[in-house]
Structure formats: structure tokens, C-alpha cells
Amino acid sequence: METSKQNHQETEQKAITGSELLLQCLLSEGVECVFGYPGGNVLYIYNAMYDKPGFKHILTRHEQGAIHAADGYARSTGKVGVCIATSGPGATNLITGIATAYMDSTPLVIITGNVPTTVMGTDAFQEADIVSMTMSITKHSYLVRDVNDLQRIIQEAFYIANTGRKGPVLIDIPKDISNQQIMMQETKILLRGYQPSLEFNYEQVDKLLEAIAAAEKPVIIAGGGVVYSDAAEELLAFVQMAQIPVTTTLLGLGGFPSKHELSIGMPGMHGNFTANTAIQQADLIISIGSRYDDRVTMKLDGFAPKAQKFAHMDIDPAEIGKNVRTELPCIGDIKAMLAYANQHVKQANTKHWLAAIEQNKQQFPLRYKDSTEVLKPQFVIEMISETTAGEAIITTDVGQHQMWTAQFYKFKHSRSLITSGGLGTMGFGFPAAIGAQTGNPDRLVISINGDGGMQMCAQELAICSINKIPVKIVVINNQVLGMVRQLQELIHDNRFSHIDLAGSPDFVKLAAAYGVKGLRATNKAEAEEIWRQALETDGPVLLEFVVAKEENVFPMVAAGNTLDKMIMGDFV
């Protein structure tokens, strides 16, 4: 009788709510920090957090800030980022961040609350069908209808998000489900329709190596897939053995060292002369983890016209041949394929090709017209690059400053550039830096923003102040929507329409209002001085660099043109 009573008590002790189960599952998945914003339909989840001092949660000031922070955490660490929001507007405020992660293949698990199952479909207060709304921008979505499915769903979500071509997974939990009793059980992941594998076809890679041996002007386009598969070391070894020049896409920056002698910079719309010219003259194009997106290829009819063959290494078979014909597909994990290739690759016949490329690098380097009177944004980026020796984690917002960063910051390591590539999301950079710093507490994290994008996320300064997150927040302030202004100048005959950001806040005073140190520079000497002060400050610092409004990003390929039709700008 006593034994039966004891067993009953032990059973009762193991019964927990769906909310408590959720938190235990997150901890068991190795989640270090969750970014979120509470509300009515996630109250049980947040109530469960109250008794878990070991569960780290950062309260952002907007749901979009939460998901961008989770995104920055994921990209910089290689782990799954997690965010939580309530139903209705809380969930819909995540949509831009979900799309951002989906376009750039970032592994996230997004947890949203929903109204109780008893009132679903009745237009209840703060009801929104977030699963349907995000179906096209998630890798997979779950609506939890039975608390007994919750543990399995959480485990599946992490597995799906972080395998194959990575991406965001949504878990929508009705309020009543989060409070129902459940027993934790041993579960196994068995997804009949989803079986990602690291295996690849060795013959496909062998054919690529044969094509390299026969080529005289090969070019590698290294993309984000190199970074996401942690294949930077394998790529470096492959390139050095094969002696093939490497152009690195925006999301691929850091996947190959910027200062390496075989690096030819970024290609595409704002790519440099050497990279774009090499692609147009190449007889073999090898895409490694790059999806041949339109900002790289520009006008497809005319992209790499002399290429006899196109090769494409990618984990996602849907990308093969989607934009560019592909004679040499290599489908599988890039790290594994390069590791195999490195056992068999031989030096290509590229001596004359590399000499021609080096001549272009010397004759047409990235440059700008410097000034002693006004502060140039390119100078600011060069200063940051030189003083950090390429060792920092850099996050950017979207616009001219993003392109100047891509051009003038010299990246040394993989996962050191965090930026919105596919969606081009303004307001991304600063929250992403908070996530990156959270995941990399011992690294220097620098957030580079425009004055437009900074105002879409400035409220997150509170997080840095309260949590003492030591991000260095750079604002390149040209008092205008710079990239739009540039396009209106060059494409629309100086018809400057609704781009003036006059009336923006005093960023130094704004930082002070949140308890963050703020500094401003308007010339080179001041820029160097405030940057020195920032590096010597343990906590967060906002640095406003007031730069020339008229400065443009060059080179530039206008929409509808091929890569060889570059506008080079007025270089000295």
C-alpha cells in the first residue's frame, strides 16, 4: 500500500504544464537565450519562466527586435536562434523577421501564442492565423492542437530548422494547450517526408575536378552556404591547391579571407571591377553555396557569356539550374564535398589567368575621392577594419553603408558578417548585433547602421543599457535615405522624391536618454578619437559619424545591365 502511494506521488511530481515542458525542451536543446515579448496568450509560458532563474530571456522592445536578435545569434554562433511572441499583433510583428531568416537560410524556432482552442475561428481578441500567414516564409510550421504532441513537435522543429538547407520553423501554441498537464517522455524524431543527408554523389565531384583540370579561366563564386556549412577551412585548402580565384557574395563574406591573394572581392551590382570582369571572362563558373541571385548575376542574359560550363555545389537540389544552366551539379553538404575534393584536386592551369586578374586588381582597386573637409563613409569603414584587424563580428543594416562595409571591411573569419541579404531588411542590423553579442560575449561586435535604419530599431538601445551588452553602434549619418537617393540621382535624373531625413533625432542625445554613451564625429580627427574612446569603453557606445550626403557607392551596375556595364564613379 505504501509503495503504491509512493509511486503515485512520483507520478504526480512528473506531471508538468505544456509551458513548463516547453522550457525544459528548450534547455535540453541547448538553447542559451530566448528573445521575446510577452502578452496575454503566452502568459502561462512567461509564468513558467518566473521559477527558472537558469532560463535566460531578453525582453526586447519590439517583437521584430526579438526575431532579428535571434537571427543574429543564430548566424554568428551556428546554433538555432529562438524567439517568443504572443498572438495577433505580437505574432504578425515577427513576419518581416521570419521572411528575413527564410531568405538567408537562418535556423530559427519561432514560438507564438494563440487564442485558446475553444475560441479559435471566432475572431477572438488578438486571434490571427499566423501559420497560414507565414506558410511561404517558413521551412515548416506547427499548430499544436494536443499537448501530448508538444514535446515531439519541439524536437522536430529544432531538427528541421538546423538540418539540410536551414531555415525558420514556427510553433503556434494555443493558450489552453500551454497550461494543460503533460508527462515528459522519451521521444524519437521520425519524419518520413524529411530525411536530409550529408551523403553526396562522388562522381559529380569527380566531374567537377575534371572540368577544373581542363579549364584555363575558372572562377569560384563562394556564397552563404560556405559559411552555413562551416566549410571555410575546406574552401581555403581547395582554393590554395587548385589555384582558382574566388569572388565572395555578400552573405559569403568571411567564408574566404578578404586579404588572401586569390580573393578578388565581391561580385554583382556593387561588386568590384576585378570580380565582375573575371566572371564575364571565365570559361568555368563554380558556384559554391551561392544561389546565383539577381544581385550577383544582374542581367541573366549576358551573365558569364564565355563560360563553357557552370558548376553548382549546394545542399538544396531546388537551387540547381533555377537561375543559371548547370552542367555540373554537386548536391550535398558543402563541407563534406570539399573535404572529398581536397583529396583529389590538382593545381589548375591558371598561371596566365591569375596574372591577368592581378593586373586588374592593381589597376582598378576599390577607391574613393577622399576629403579633408568632410568625413567620407568609406574612411570610417576602413578605419574600423584596420583597427580591428578584421577580427570583429560586424552586423549591418541595409543600404549604402552595407555596401561600403562589404567593400572596405577586410573579413578574416567565417560568421563575422551578419547582414540581411535576400530580403534587404532595414532595422535588422542593430538587433542582430545584440543577438550576436549575446552568443559571443568575448568577441567585439560592431553594428554599422544608416540613420534611416537606426530609427527603425532605436528602442532596442534599452536592452544594451539594461543588460550591459557592449555592442559598438555605428551610425553613418548622411541625413538621407542614401541608396534611394543614389538611384534617384543616377537612374531618375536627380528627381529626389521623399528621401530627406531632416528632423531625425540627435543620436547622441537619444543614446544618452537610454543610458548609453554617445559620441559624434564630423571629420577624420574626430572620427579616430571617438572610435578610440569606444574601443576603450567596456559597455555599449553609439558613435554618430556625420558624412557627406552626396557620396555614392561605386562601382555600380544598373538594373537591366550585364556585369561588364559598370558605373565606376569619379575616382581620383
Give the active site residues: 63, 125-126, 175, 483
CB distance 60 to 86 below 8 Å: no
Task: Scan for cell 565582375, then name that residue.
Answer: 276
Question: What cell numbers appear for 12 in the block?
Answer: 504526480
| CA–CA separation, 157 and 110 (whole Å) | 9
Question: What cell numbers appear for 203 in the block?
Answer: 562522381
Q: How deeply is 367 buried, as exposed, middle or buried, from its count of CB atoms within 10 A (0-12, 13-18, 19+)? A: middle
CB distance 169 to 139 below 8 Å: yes
DSSP per position, 496-542: --S-B-TT---HHHHHHHTT-EEEEESSHHHHHHHHHHHHH-SS-EE
DSSP per position, 103-117: HTT--EEEEEEE--G
Peptide bond into 555 cis (omega under 30): yes
CB distance 337 to 312 below 8 Å: no
Count Cβ neighbours within 10 Å for each residue of 293-329 and write b for 16 or more, e otherwise.
Answer: bebbbbeeeebbeebebbbbbbbeeebbeebbebebb
Residue 543, C-beta contacts closer than 8 angstroms, at least 6 positions apart: 472, 473, 474, 475, 518, 519, 520, 521, 530, 531, 534
Count helices and strands in the chain by DSSP H and E runs? 23, 19
**Per-residue CA distances from 194 to 140, 197, 331 (Å):** 11, 10, 16
Q: How deeply is 441 buried, as exposed, middle or buried, from its count of CB atoms within 10 A (0-12, 13-18, 19+)? A: exposed
Please give the span between the terminal C-alpha atoms of the chain, in angstroms, as a whole number.
93
Task: Quote the DSSP letter at residue 174.
Answer: E
